Chains A and B, each alone.
Chain A
Amino acid sequence: MNPQDAPTKAALLKTFQTASQIFHARFTACGTALVAACMDSTVRRWRFVDPPPEAAAPSAPDAKPQPKPAAKGKPVAPQDLVELAPIQGFQSWVQTLATHPSASTVYAADAWGRLGAWDALADGTAPLWCIDHAHEGWIRQLAVSPKGDLLASCGRDQYVRIWDTRDGRKIAEFKHAQDVYCLAFSPDGAQLVFGDFSCAIHVADAGLRRIERKLDASPLYLLSRMQEVTGLRVLRFSPDGATLIAAGCKPASGGFVKGTPNALPIDYASGKVGEVTVVGGESEGFFLDLGWHPAGFLAGALSGQPGSGQLVFFKPGEKGPFFADKSVANCQSIALHPGGRFLAVIGTNKGSNGNGRPAKGAPYLPNNSPIHLYSMEA
């Protein structure tokens, strides 16, 4: 991509309504579908109606339908998304999912310990494999190794586990002393890092045989009165593996959880923390998701306080974002379309706060998460 063509901002193309609140969403490797981990105990899926938007270059041989390459230069405006049958069978909300780097497989887990793999594009919703008690209780995050052979999971039961993506066979596990919130594989696939309750980051080998060292993101931890607030929610490596971004919120108080979104660039070799990217004031909430754009910056979703929320672009090591869009309320997740021409921002409906009491006679309704599709622009 030429520097002058490099995108620096995003423009809203279209907003799609959904029936549930969404925690996390990703495009499949082929870019034809979006999968979402939902609060209503489902994984929901949408396919683009033809013509699909520009997608990534052809990938691994087991990837199923290949998207048609789109005309170069000008992004093709996507048409409607059609929802496929939701994946069900979960017992509790589904907070996390991960997609295979080349195949159309999606891995998802619920808060009661169920973990499974599905073909995101299949018409049916039968799992490729499924484990009912992969963890005791709340599975917080999943990550797939760069090669796609390993799936890592972590949860409130203080375990980190590694699974074979092909059949769900447990390969390794590590019992930590604390609730584990987030994890990431290093780009070379050799290491797994995970962030815990007190915002320490532990570096383990991908076989979980030993903890090699510890990195510090403790500025994101706060004991407020007697509430422990874990601000660390996301770990992302730079593509070259030199920098690990630890992001979330620097909490100022418990309860409401006021705090400032912080992204700490940690020099992976030395463990030194560089210039922290800070967004806004204490009402901007958490970085709940981050995606590396191929043009070399990070796109982040900010949870915000009631009604607010932001999509931001920033370069690790810079004080603040170079682009911010505040039109989406309470962002939960950000999914970068393969190739980097589009991104989907998962927000929350306006007015999600308050008691939600409807006018007399009307039903009491849950909130939902609209999907906002953006195109990247120079």
Chain B
Amino acid sequence: MLCNPSEHAVSRRRFLGTALGATMAGGLGGLFSARAAEAMKASDRQVLFVWLDGGISQFESWDPKPNSLYGGPFRAIPTSVPGTHISELMPQCARQMHRLCLLRSLCTKDQDHSSGVARIQRGDPKNRGVPYPFFGSSVANLLGPMESRLPPYVVIKEGTGGFRAEDAGFLGPAYGSLAFGDGKPPEDLLRNAALTEADDEERNALRDLFNRRYAAQRRPALTQASTFAYDTARELMRRQDIFDTSRLSERDLDRYGRTEIGTHMLIARNMLTAGVRFVKVASFGWDSHGDNFNAHASLVPKFDRAFASILEDLAASGLLERTLVIAMSEFGRTPRINGHAGRDHWPDSWSLAMAGCGIRAGAVVGATDANGVEIKDAKHDIGAVFHTWFKALGIDSEERQYKHKGQPLPLAHEDMAPIKEALA
């Protein structure tokens, strides 16, 4: 028998307590599956994935070739790791180098944006006739949401936001991403101005009552899934602090930079702290076919500041110990410089940076030759990099498999293996 909203709330909690004990966690766009629940307790690992769309130049960032044929105008500077140098455009990351692991031996296959962006983020496995999930969707599927019950895979990007099912590939829309366009929440995420929080709670308690009556005569799965979706909605609505840019501190903004990537990285820090499993920060406009050097002089320092600051903060809060941090693009840029001072697409020898859990801090893996054209020793394709990331997250990608329509599918390219030198 019901009397007032506070009692609704009590019975609601009781109901949820039992319902969620046996549930079920999952994604966003679709049905929530039960599998992820165990994983949710098993792992506290998180991921920060910084995507520099269009292709940051390895020469003007992680693998400078000062005073060489294709080296460009910039100098290399020493870092906190003796013997390791990076571009002068990254003075702050230079001070964080002891936390970073550079991979300078990336050799991938795709030199087109339209296919490369997806191909790299899906780990470029062998063709199985099914679209593979983006790394974020993989992690959302394999590790599920955190105990916070915030959505497991969030993207902070410029432009439009929303629910992006296509990231999930064959895993299905439940593992798609929730994108905050321009750092802002998607449509309808903020509590409608016409509602108070108390009203919203009251009517939701009523909704739970109707659901209980309904579920009593049905199989529980669907109603539980709905409850989870509404709870996730509620958590997100309650945690507006984590993406409300007006609440970011002046001091933090000064440190991260009052730029798009600075603000987005700060929101990412808040989301990781609040318990989002996988946060992707996507920065666009790195495709410097023309005027590459002025473009990088403008862009790289903004990335440098934001990225170094979040590394510093994650390290200070202890989160870095269980957070895998990655910064990369879909490919690097050509050694040779074209007729409008630009660099074009180059998948043959490029770099990425990693840090955090499972990663060997301060390491530099692989090297390119004096002009930055060829990789000296072992080349690493993105499949090997995926294995490395899975390993760092405690997922045995050489053993574990996805199951899709009864068919086992490897997590990453089965002919490749983790890069041991990059692992702690």
Contact = CB atoms under 8 A, between A and B. Distances in A.
Direct contact of A and B (CB under 8 A): yes
Interface of A: 21, 39-41, 91-93, 95, 111-112, 137-138, 156, 179, 224-230, 254-257, 285-286, 303-307, 309, 329-330, 332, 347-349, 352-357, 364-367
Given A354-B344, A355-B345, A303 B339 contact: yes
Contacts of B85: none
Contacts, number: 137
Given A92-B71, A228-B298, A353 B338 contact: yes
A286 B340 CA distance: 9
Counting from the closest, the 10 A-B pairs by CB-CB distance are A330-B339, A348-B339, A111-B73, A352-B339, A225-B285, A257-B290, A255-B287, A352-B338, A226-B260, A257-B291
A355 B348 contact: yes
A21 B290 CA distance: 15
Nearest to A366: B336
B290 A305 contact: yes
B68 to A, nearest CB: 9
A158 to B, nearest CB: 13
Contact of A92 (B67, B290, B298): B67
Contacts of B73: 92-93, 95, 111-112, 137-138
Contact of B344 (A255, A309, A353): A353
B144 interface: no
A255 B344 CA distance: 11
Nearest to B371: A364
Interface in B245-262: 259-261
Nearest to A353: B338
Contacts of B261: 226
A108 to B, nearest CB: 14
A205 to B, nearest CB: 29
A40 B72 CA distance: 9
A103 B148 CA distance: 75
A366 B340 CA distance: 14
B339 A255 contact: no
A304 B340 contact: yes
Q: How large is the interface on B (under 10, 10 to 19, 20 to 34, 35 or more residues)?
A: 35 or more
Interface in B315-367: 334-342, 344-346, 348
Contacts of A332: 339
B286 A230 contact: no
Given A40-B69, A355-B348, A225 B284 contact: yes
B22 interface: no
A93 B74 CA distance: 9
B291 A309 contact: no
B88 A230 contact: no
B195 to A, nearest CB: 35
B373 interface: yes
B302 A226 contact: yes
B339 A226 contact: no
B338 A348 contact: yes
A354 B347 CA distance: 12
A112 B75 contact: yes
Contacts of A112: 67, 73, 75
B299 interface: yes
17 contacts: A21-B337, A91-B66, A92-B73, A95-B73, A112-B75, A137-B74, A137-B75, A226-B260, A229-B295, A255-B54, A257-B291, A286-B340, A304-B340, A306-B338, A349-B339, A354-B344, A355-B345
B75 A364 contact: no
Nearest to B67: A91
B289 interface: yes
B6 interface: no
Nearest to B71: A92
A92 B66 contact: yes
B288 interface: yes
Nearest to A356: B336
A363 to B, nearest CB: 9
A4 B308 CA distance: 65
B273 interface: no
B325 to A, nearest CB: 20
A193 B202 CA distance: 68
B92 interface: no
A254 B337 contact: no
Contacts of A21: 337
A357 B335 CA distance: 10
B158 interface: yes
B227 interface: no
Contacts of A304: 339-340
Contacts of B334: 354-356
A349 B259 CA distance: 38
Contacts of B158: 225
